[in-house]
Amino acid sequence: MANSKDIYHPSKEVVDYATIKDYDKLYKQSVKNPEKFWADEAKRLDWFKPWDKVLDSSNFPFYKWFVGGKTNIIQNALDRHLTNANRNKLALIWEGEPGDIRTYSYHALSREVCEFANVLKAMGVRKGDIVTIYMPQIPEQIFAMLACAKIGAPHSVIYGGFSHEAIAERVNDAKSRVIVTADGGYRRGKATRLKEIVNRAMEIAPTLEICITVKRTGEEVHMENDRDYWYHDLRSLPIAEKCCCTEEVDAEDPLFILYTSGSTGKPKGLVHTHGGYSVYTSATHRMVFDIKPEDRWWCAADPGWITGHSYMVYGPLINGATIFMYEGAPNHPYPDRWWKMIDKFGINILYTSPTAIRGLMRYGESWVTKHDLSTLRLLGSVGEPINPEAWKWYHRVVGKEKCPIMDTWWQTETGGFVITPLPITPLKPGSATKPFFGHEIAVVDETGSEVGPNEVGALVLKKPFPGMARTIFNEPERYIETYWKKYEEKKWYHAGDSAKKDEDGYFWIIGRSDDVIKVSGYRLGTAEIESAVVSHDSVTEAAAIPLPHELKGNAIYVYAILRDGEKPSKALEREVKDHVGKVMGPIAKPESVSFVDSLPKTRSGKIMRRVLKARALGEDEGDVTTMDD
């Protein structure tokens, strides 16, 4: 961990420019009366009908926010901008990997969304139907999401790097009838073949009846009558009218489901709502990045993850910001692609992951310094702890020591930032610093007592907040079990991360304390990886653990027991690795697969991954009294 005395104070210029100048005062007010704080934020937005009650906590842990309020996130993200000065402002600037550029004003974006929404309606999509979206990073990915929201149909976006099995698993849980995809997208100069993957998913996802495909690459794809439609064909028909009324929904109606890995079993479909999520994403985005009308904002995530949902799409659009989006790989065709685009488009804020920073850092400074990055005023980091070397490089080489770094800690579950600096916060490299407004956060032991300064414990959030996922789709019991059971009496949210709080009240996230592995900031469950390994014919049992990796933060190491008669070999190791990559998608491909005769287990048969990890790192195995012989 970094030295907690290593402090970077904001310059006078940064402080002078900042809208919020006194964190402590506003923080105190916000936690004294959080409902007032959130209601004041909600009042900044448009409501078709105002709420009757800010917070209903009668059915813990199923909190409800802005009860009785009628809204739609699209009213705030698009419609209201059409009658104000944002109408002609750029909402979206997009650059494809081959270098093609498309731009949309708020007015143009709204037209695209209306047409898409009318196409979905013509395909029979109604309020409450869950539409699956599996797309490359092209503007239509955003149009499709917003179109769903507009008609009150929750979207379930699946990251474009996932396999057909992963799609089918999510579709089968959500029971989607319609899927939106593209023929492919560009990545490292090659066309990906998304529609082919969707076709395979459709064979094992019986609820899917209709697939709408956007043409991006022009590669040949297999289409079937009465099932497959090109988006450009549909939008040229009279069904794709230019106007589409935004559906009035309840504040608590679902906006989307986003599947994420948990410590056990299948992925969890976290449910976020129109009302609370609108308030939370817009407030956090506006305050933490101090969004000004002239800003060009780049969240270099994929809309397939929560970061993309909250801070590429919804938060920034509600705030009337100009979003930049890029389709492809950061190092294509050269490692200066990002810096070139920041220079070309005059980007003011870059929000990305430590993995991306470490990845670009290894090419050396000259790729960065040959471009003019003087428009940058703030930087951001998310997804995993940022190591101080990467922080300092980002600060010095990219930010020229004048751009504070907003290291934001949050989760798919929280919908938006929870622990984060503001531009005025003195920064400590590697620490996400302090709680956002309205939050009380602690590091506690098993019994819920707060641990001392710099001692490791479990991170808990003590107060409800509007951005929190309301439940796990179809699995309310699992929602209680996973997040609320542990500190049920105190009604605290158990985040699943271990952390420390230092003597200045700064939080230092250490990592997941459960069986979730963060690889390049992506969240994967050991249970999912292990079941993918075991689905290989030669393997009977497996354990997956994370071990530190210079670029990815963590890499996956697998220990597998072979079936009787199978012999370990390099070729088999490669085969098992490729198999996992195919079953789950390339991000889950293990770094190493070792064949072993047995796995350390408790007497009740649970694999002791912690022991495997300690052994691999040459560390003390700790308490092994529960280990079976």
Report, in Å, the least distance between residue 352 CB and ligand PRX.
11
Residue 412: C-alpha distances to residues 110, 415, 441 (Å) = 27, 6, 17
Nearer to ligand PRX, 251 or 509 (CB): 509
Position among 306, 341, 398, 441 found at the interface with ligand PRX (CB under 6 A): 306
Q: Residues 423, 425, 431, CA angle at the centre, nearest 5°?
A: 105
Binding mask 230-269 for ligand PRX (x = CB under 6 A): ------------------------------x---------
Minimal distance, residue 27 CB to ligand PRX, in Å: 19
**Least CB distance to ligand PRX at residue 384 (A):** 5
Q: Which is nearer to ligand PRX, 152 or 467 (CB)?
A: 467
In angstroms, give the least distance from the CB of 496 to ligand PRX: 6
Closest Cα to residue 167, out of 537, 583, 629? 583
Q: How far apart are CA 32 and CA 37, in angstroms?
A: 9
- Shortest distance, position 513 Cβ to ligand PRX, whole Å: 9
Supply the minimum distance, in Å, between the C-beta of residue 245 and ligand PRX: 33
Q: Report, in Å, the least distance between residue 596 CB and ligand PRX.
A: 28
Q: In angstroms, what is the minimal distance from the CB of 201 to ligand PRX?
A: 22
Question: SS3 string of 362-396?
Answer: CCCCHHHHCCCCCCCCEEEEECCCCCHHHHHHHHH
Beta strands 322-326 and 296-299, pairing class = parallel
Q: Which of 382, 469, 543, 576 binds ligand PRX (CB under 6 A)?
A: 382
Q: Which of 307, 355, 425, 482 binds ligand PRX (CB under 6 A)?
A: 307
Contact stretch for ligand PRX (CB under 6 A) within 290-298, 363-371, 409-417, 612-620: 409-417
Which residue's CB is nearer to ligand PRX, number 509 or number 576? 509
Is 138 in a helix, a strand, or coil? coil
Give the residue with the Cβ less far from ligand PRX, 213 or 281: 281
Is residue 482 a contact residue for ligand PRX (CB under 6 A)? no
**Any contact of residue 383 with ligand PRX (CB under 6 A)?**
yes
Q: Closest-CB residue for ligand PRX?
A: 412
The rounded distance, in Å, linking the Cα atoms of 392 and 381 is 12
Which of 427, 322, 347, 527 minimizes the C-alpha distance to 14? 427
Q: Are strands 268-273 and 254-260 parallel, antiparallel or unpaired?
A: antiparallel
| Cβ at position 408, least distance to ligand PRX in Å | 5
Closest CA to 214 of 198, 196, 195, 238: 195
Of the candidate residues 410, 436, 473, 506, the single one contacting ligand PRX (CB under 6 A)? 410
Residue placing its CB nearer to ligand PRX in the complex, 61 or 152: 61
**Which residue, 97 or 173, has its beta carbon nearer to ligand PRX?**
173
Q: How far is the CB of 413 from ligand PRX (least distance, A)?
A: 7
**Distance from C-alpha of 89 to C-alpha of 561, rounded to nearest angstrom:** 59
CB atoms within 10 A of CB 559: 24
Nearest C-alpha neighbor of 100 from the set 49, 71, 138, 50: 138
Exactly one of 432, 458, 461, 584 binds ligand PRX (CB under 6 A); that residue is 432
Stretch that binds ligand PRX, among 369-377, 442-450, 495-503, 536-544 (CB under 6 A): 495-503
Q: Does 115 bind ligand PRX (CB under 6 A)?
A: no
- Smallest separation (angstroms) from ligand PRX to the CB of 410: 4
Distances (CA, A) of 490 to 452, 465, 485, 512: 19, 16, 10, 22
Nearer to ligand PRX, 434 or 518 (CB): 518
DSSP 8-class letter at 542: E
Distance CA(42)–CA(580), nearest Å, equals 45
- Stretch of residues binding ligand PRX (CB under 6 A), selected from 150-158, 341-349, 410-418, 449-457: 410-418
312 is a contact residue toward ligand PRX (CB under 6 A)? no
Residue 443's SS3 state is strand
* Range in contact with ligand PRX (rule: CB under 6 A) among 148-156, 208-216, 287-295, 375-383: 375-383
H-assigned helices in 73-138: 73-77, 106-122
**Beta carbons of 581 and 519 less than 8 angstroms apart:** no
H helix or E strand, kind and range, residue 342: helix 337-345
Cβ-based burial of 31 (10 A; exposed 0-12, middle 13-18, buried ≥19): middle
Q: Are 273 and 470 in contact (CB under 8 A)?
A: yes
Give the one residue of 497, 515, 528, 530 binding ligand PRX; rule: CB under 6 A: 497
Among 140, 183, 253, 384, binds ligand PRX (CB under 6 A): 384
Q: Which two tokens stand for residue 19?
A: 């809208």
Please report whether residue 457 would count as binding ligand PRX according to CB under 6 A. Answer: no
Smallest gap from residue 238 Cβ to ligand PRX (A): 42
Among positions 72, 156, 387, 412, the unique one binding ligand PRX when judged by CB under 6 A? 412
Helices (H), 204-298: 231-235, 274-288
Which is nearest to 625 in space by CA: 613, 608, 616?
Answer: 608
State the chain's maximal CA–CA distance in angstroms. Answer: 72
- C-alpha–C-alpha distance, residues 576 and 564, integer Å: 16
Length of the chain: 629
Give min distance, CB of 567 to ligand PRX, in A: 38
Smaller CB distance to ligand PRX: residue 63 or 391? 391
Q: Does 528 interact with ligand PRX (rule: CB under 6 A)?
A: no
Count the residues of the shown chain that bind ligand PRX, applying the rule CB under 6 A.
23
Q: Which of 38, 231, 409, 559 binds ligand PRX (CB under 6 A)?
A: 409
How many CB atoms sit inside 10 A of residue 183's CB?
23
Please identify, among the stretches 75-83, 122-130, 408-416, 542-550, the one whose residues bind ligand PRX according to the rule CB under 6 A: 408-416
113 within 8 A of 145, measured Cβ to Cβ: no
CB 433 to ligand PRX: min, Å: 10
Q: Which residues bind ligand PRX (CB under 6 A)?
A: 260, 306-307, 381-385, 407-412, 432, 495-497, 509, 511-512, 518, 523
